[in-house]
Amino acid sequence: MRMTSILQSLSRTIHYSLALAILLFLGLHFSGDGFAFDITFWSWLARYVHVIVAIMWIGLLWYFNFVQIPNMSKIPDEQKPAIGKVIAPAALFYFRWAAALTVLSGFILAWLNGYLHQAMTLGIDGSYGKNTAIGIGMWLGLIMAYNVWFVIWPNQKRALGMVECTPEVKATSAKTAMLFSRTNTLLSLPMLMTMVAAQNLY
């Protein structure tokens, strides 16, 4: 019964998940020789946050493109307002802020590890390989985040009726948002490939 009451509340579920993660962290810290709270620790923390928010961002991107958009035409017209007025705005909130936090935590991670400049310049100083790979991933991520905040989100606000506009503008905005969301989907696999390659192939 206790577990059921926890799982019935998203807030409690997340709080307990965080508490469990902290307990596991402390267990790892105090087992064996432990580890220092130095630059390595802060780099790990930045990477942990980066991975969490990136999962949220790309997961929602794929939800929109693999689930919501392809199935909207199958939903009866009288039920579509539930998507447009409730589910989509909530998903877009987490979507756009996860994108922003992914970029921010990625920059912090690169700075802590001392490769921010080399990555953003794609290793043209001669430090190719890992810096080029992670740099391409970072630039693709920046393009995708720009699309989220400055193209997809403004157009979705019009498409969902959050901003007053004519039916023609609403239809055009919906198409624009969809096309740029698909663009981000197109870029997502190359972006993830370069990120993983930088960590594992060099």
Q: pLDDT tens digit string along 153-201?
A: 999 999 998 889 999 999 999 999 999 999 999 999 999 999 999 999 9
Task: Please indicate, yes or no, whether residues 164 and 102 belong to a single structural domain of this protein.
Answer: yes
80 vs 104 pLDDT, higher one:
104
Task: Please indicate, yes or no, whether residues 26 and 100 belong to a single structural domain of this protein.
Answer: no
Task: Please indicate, yes or no, whether residues 99 and 133 belong to a single structural domain of this protein.
Answer: yes
Task: Please indicate, yes or no, whether residues 26 and 61 belong to a single structural domain of this protein.
Answer: no
pLDDT at 151: 98
Task: Please indicate, yes or no, whether residues 7 and 71 belong to a single structural domain of this protein.
Answer: no
Number of domain units in the chain: 2
Task: Please indicate, yes or no, whether residues 21 and 67 belong to a single structural domain of this protein.
Answer: no
Give the separation between CA 173 and CA 116, rounded to whole angstroms: 35
Task: Please indicate, yes or no, whether residues 82 and 70 belong to a single structural domain of this protein.
Answer: yes
What is the separation, in whole angstroms, between the first and last Cα of the chain? 49
Examine the pLDDT at 1 and tell me if it is beyond 70. Answer: no
Mean pLDDT over each residue of the chain, to the nearest integer:
94
**Which residues constitute the domain of residue 8?**
1-34
